[in-house]
Amino acid sequence: MRGVDDGVTGDAVRGAHAVRGAEAHRGDAHPGSVHPGEARRGGVPGRVTRTGPLAPSADSYDARESYDAPRGGPYGHGSYDPHDPYDLHVPYGPHVPYDVIVVGAGVVGTAIARELARHPLRIAVVEASDDVGEGTSKANTAILHTGFDAVPGSLEARLVQDGYRRLTAYAAACGIPVEPVGALLVAWDEDQLAALPGLLEKAKRNGYEEAALLDAAEVRAREPHLGPGALGALDVPGESIICPWTTPLAYVTQAVRAGVDLHLNCRVEAVEAVGQGRSAGSAVGAGSAESAGGTGRAGSAGGAGSAGGTGRAGGTGGAGSAGSEGGAVSAGGTGSAGSAASAGSAASAGSAGDTPGAAPPPAGDLHTLTTTRGPLRTRYLVNAAGLHADTVDRMLGHETFTVTPRRGQLIVFDKLARDLVRHILLPVPTALGKGVLVAPTVYGNVLLGPTAEDLDDKQATESTAEGLHRLREQGARILPALLDEEVTTVYAGLRAATEDDDYRIHARRGQRYVTVGGIRSTGLTASLAIAAHVTELLADCGLDLGGPPRDLPPVAMPNLGERFPRPYQRADLIAADPEYGTVVCHCERVTRGEIRDALTGTVPPVSVDGLRRRTRARGGRCQGFYCGPEVRRLLEDRGRPEGR
């Protein structure tokens, strides 16, 4: 097994599972603050913009200073060093192109940006919503998958296995909550029982050797609250639960500190791509999400629209297959860069924008993105648009796949239900997905779901009485006592299903363009591996990475999990800063100090939901009934001078 090079140092990984100490919850080391050593060497961190035109102006709050004069920068850096490849020393805006723009700030888009930030490149992420991880990435089952049940030999299998190792180490280094609770794939009838040996064999073919078959008595001993009729199970001890909210926030924090620009509320409405004319699309209504820069409807021959529709589903966006030297390679291919497009791939070499062996276009050719906040230009383009990856792909002249939104509804039960379940309880999977599960969360709750409903509407994230009724019926069989517990909340999200059962990626050398799409429930796990894979594809398309990747300084993310002590439990933090002893949200035990840190973060929230994903405030039993006014006041008061 080759080593994992994702910029996480050995020292950072060691001590991973210990509480990170006071610095993880002080304002000077929270993701909100930037240390001199954590910004791009010789330069400044990237910008996080949410309003106003993208072009800098003299009175713009985020405009950089003159680039003709040496500068110390706001964090004590020295003057511009022309010999330092990481001091890019250039302005931004419509007249200055980026090297790469990533469309979509979900868990995969932010992972790609983070990986690219390890190279001396000018990178931007554009996102239609007002926050990162706002769509599919915020509403999933939050499982760190081993990849035991992936299709052997598929791109998904390879990237999930690699991503599992990478994200396990990364989470440990950054303080992202992970609990290795393991999973039981429970058989409830003879047909399902007969399928378990085949699933065990599939796990072995995927390189996972720790799975084992359990008989009915062993299953009952492991999970005494299971409903009657469990005949056996496949034990998968490596499956874990993880915080899906902190993960993309950690990625984007590192990326921005390393110089990546993040443009939020920036819906892509049209693309004039390298090698083709303008493809325009009308934006689709409010509520669009992480999938990227905006949604659109067909308006020109190549398909129109822009990335970024809604989605809050049980999966995250991800990427595809190995790129070929001259043509597009689609999901399912596992060859290395430079191989020919495999048979049966959705986009073969020579499709729009590519010819076999084609050289990349001249360096002066640029993609021009028309956004709701003005134009942006880039040499290379990555489409990590989630639910709308197919729409953006058509804007570039390709019709290789169609995303069907697959709604997953889930029920969250109160923390008092946590003792009822010890493992992730999985059903034997079907063609529609992994089925309805019961799983603990790192926050101390219990999840039941998701449903799997193929829809036409990419904004249909509402819960339905019928869907919740079906979940309760299935939950009654799996864990009967669970239905006696209080429900904290329900939610629904959309996964990006396609015609294929593998990730979809198209590397277009002739257009300097990579599509990342068709990722369902495993995208969170695979995100770092997808990012490394996409970076390789960009290099195959002609992007000069400027040498081997550098390590990024680690970030210390605030602990949102119940496994380790929270700030309100830590006398050392409270002694140093009494704000960590002032509880604002009593259901989730969130302190004023944690809320303050989040509001001064590198990518601060602008909504109460965004604040909840950073702190858990308003996420408990009362859903903000008691703490809501105070939380909103703190949010609205951020940045005001003291005394006002």
Q: What is the pLDDT of residues 369-380, one digit of tens each?
A: 999 999 999 999
- Give the strand pairing for 424-427 and 183-187: parallel
Query: Is 332 in the same domain as 272?
Result: yes
Query: Is 508 in the same domain as 578?
Result: no
Q: How far apart are CA 206 and CA 103, in angstroms?
A: 31
Residue 174 lies in a domain: no
Structure tokens at 570: 């830590």
Q: What is the pLDDT of residue 641?
A: 44
CB-count burial class (<10 Å; 0-12, 13-18, 19+) for 218: middle
Instruction: Give the model's confidence band at 8: pLDDT under 50 very low, under 70 low, under 90 confident, else very high.
Output: low
Q: Which neighbouring-strand residues pair with 410?
A: 491
Q: Once rounded to an integer, what is the mean pLDDT over residues 460-484? A: 96
Q: Once rounded to an integer, what is the mean pLDDT over residues 89-102? A: 72
Residue 31 lies in a domain: no
Q: What is the pLDDT of residue 275?
A: 65
Q: How many CB atoms lie within 10 A of CB 519?
A: 35
The amino acid occupying position 582 is: T
Query: pTM score, two decimals?
Result: 0.81
pLDDT cut 90: percent of the chain above it = 62
Q: How far apart are CA 182 and CA 234, in angstroms?
A: 11
Q: How far apart are CA 557 and CA 25, in angstroms?
A: 8
Query: Is 527 in the same domain as 600?
Result: no
Most confident range, picked from 36-45, 196-205, 318-327, 351-360:
196-205
Structure tokens at 107: 């868990």
User: How many Cα atoms are found within 13 Å in the side-chain-facing hemisphere of 269?
Assistant: 12
Instruction: Give the model's confidence band at 287: pLDDT under 50 very low, under 70 low, under 90 confident, else very high.
Output: very low
Q: Tokens 């302190």 identify what position?
A: 591
Query: Is 513 in the same domain as 619?
Result: no
Selection from 313, 263, 245 nearest residue 611 by Cα = 245
pLDDT at 527 > cutoff 90: yes
Q: What is the pLDDT of residue 57?
A: 36
Instruction: Give the model's confidence band at 70: pLDDT under 50 very low, under 70 low, under 90 confident, else very high.
Output: very low
The packing angle between helices 155-174 and 523-540, to 10°, is 110
Q: What is the pLDDT of residue 235?
A: 98
- The 10s digit of each residue's pLDDT in 330-350 is 333 333 333 333 333 333 333
Structure tokens at 414: 């109160």
Q: How far apart are CA 307 and CA 266, in angstroms?
A: 10
Per DSSP, the three-state class of 289 is coil
Q: What is the pLDDT of residue 73?
A: 29
pLDDT at 617 > cutoff 80: yes
- The 10s digit of each residue's pLDDT in 495-508 is 889 998 899 988 99
The amino acid occupying position 338 is: G
Residue 445 lies in a domain: no
- The 10s digit of each residue's pLDDT in 126-179 is 999 999 998 888 888 999 999 999 999 999 999 999 999 999 999 999 999 999
Q: What is the pLDDT of residue 157?
A: 96
Structure tokens at 289: 């999400």
Q: Tokens 């300084």 identify what position?
A: 553
Q: Which neighbouring-strand residues pair with 96?
A: 93
Query: Is 262 in the same domain as 337?
Result: yes
pLDDT at 468 > cutoff 90: yes
Residue 588 DSSP symbol: T
Q: How far apart are CA 314 and CA 492, in angstroms?
A: 8
pLDDT at 30 > cutoff 50: no
pLDDT at 420 > cutoff 60: yes
Query: Is 623 in the same domain as 505?
Result: no
Selection from 311, 245, 254, 255 nearest residue 102 by Cα = 255
Pinpoint the alpha helices (H) of 541-578: 571-576
Query: Is 280 in the same domain as 316?
Result: yes
Instruction: Give the model's confidence band at 6: pLDDT under 50 very low, under 70 low, under 90 confident, else very high.
Output: low
Query: Is 273 in the same domain as 361?
Result: yes
Residue 428 lies in a domain: no
- The 10s digit of each residue's pLDDT in 570-594 is 999 999 999 999 999 999 999 999 9
> Which domain, by its residues, includes 355?
97-137+246-403+500-540
Q: Which neighbouring-strand residues pair with 272?
A: 278, 368
Q: What is the 3-state secondary structure (H, E, C) of 405-447?
A: EEEEEEEEECHHHHHHCCCEEEECCECCECCCEEEECCCCCEE
Per DSSP, the three-state class of 118 is coil
Q: How far apart are CA 258 and CA 84, in angstroms?
A: 14
Calculated CA dihedral for residues 103, 109, 112, 117, nearest 10 degrees: 70
Query: Is 283 in the same domain as 371?
Result: yes
Structure tokens at 260: 């990546």
Q: Lowest-confidence range among 192-206, 228-242, 302-316, 628-642?
A: 302-316
Q: Lowest-confidence range among 253-257, 288-292, 627-631?
A: 288-292
Instruction: Give the model's confidence band at 358: pLDDT under 50 very low, under 70 low, under 90 confident, else very high.
Output: low
Q: Lowest-confidence range among 95-109, 215-229, 296-310, 424-438?
A: 296-310
Q: How far apart are CA 412 and CA 440, in angstroms?
A: 10
User: How many Cα atoms are found within 13 Å in the side-chain-facing hemisphere of 136?
Assistant: 37
- Give the strand pairing for 123-126 and 98-103: parallel
**Between 637 and 294, the higher pLDDT residue:** 637
Q: What is the pLDDT of residue 429?
A: 81
Q: How many CB atoms lie within 10 A of CB 356?
A: 15
Q: Tokens 């999985």 identify what position?
A: 426
Query: Is 375 in the same domain as 256?
Result: yes
Query: Is 256 in the same domain as 374?
Result: yes
- Helix (H) or strand (E) run with residue 88 in it: none
Calculated CA dihedral for residues 381, 309, 280, 329, nearest 10 degrees: 40
- The 10s digit of each residue's pLDDT in 533-556 is 999 999 999 999 999 999 999 999
Per DSSP, the three-state class of 371 is strand
pLDDT at 60 > cutoff 70: no
Residue 378 lies in a domain: yes
Query: Is 516 in the same domain as 397?
Result: yes
Q: What is the pLDDT of residue 413?
A: 98
The amino acid occupying position 545 is: L
Q: Which residues contact 48 (CB under 8 A, 6 or more apart)?
A: 256, 261, 262, 264, 602, 603
Q: What is the pLDDT of residue 44?
A: 67
Q: How far apart are CA 518 and CA 535, in angstroms?
A: 18
Selection from 350, 324, 266, 245 nearest residue 537 by Cα = 324
Q: What is the pLDDT of residue 394?
A: 87
Widest CA span in the chain: 75
pLDDT at 316 > cutoff 60: no
Residue 148 lies in a domain: no
Residue 619 lies in a domain: yes
pLDDT at 72 > cutoff 90: no
Q: What is the pLDDT of residue 102?
A: 98
| Per-chain mean pLDDT for the chain | 79
* CB of 577 closer than 8 Å to CB of 23: no
520: domain CATH number is 3.50.50.60
Q: Which neighbouring-strand residues pair with 372?
A: none
Per DSSP, the three-state class of 99 is strand
Q: How far apart are CA 412 and CA 141, in angstroms?
A: 11
Q: What is the pLDDT of residue 238?
A: 98
Q: Once rounded to an integer, what is the mean pLDDT over residues 301-313? A: 34
Residue 76 lies in a domain: no
- Residue 62 Rama label (left phi>0; alpha psi -120 to 50; beta): alpha
CA distances from 633 to 152, 449, 582 (A): 52, 34, 15
Q: How far apart are CA 490 and CA 317, in angstroms?
A: 22
Q: What is the pLDDT of residue 5?
A: 59
- The 10s digit of each residue's pLDDT in 424-436 is 999 988 665 567 9
pLDDT at 264 > cutoff 60: yes
DSSP for 520-532 reads -TTHHHHHHHHHH
pLDDT at 281 > cutoff 50: no
Domain tally, the chain: 2
Q: What is the pLDDT of residue 360?
A: 65
Q: What is the pLDDT of residue 210?
A: 98
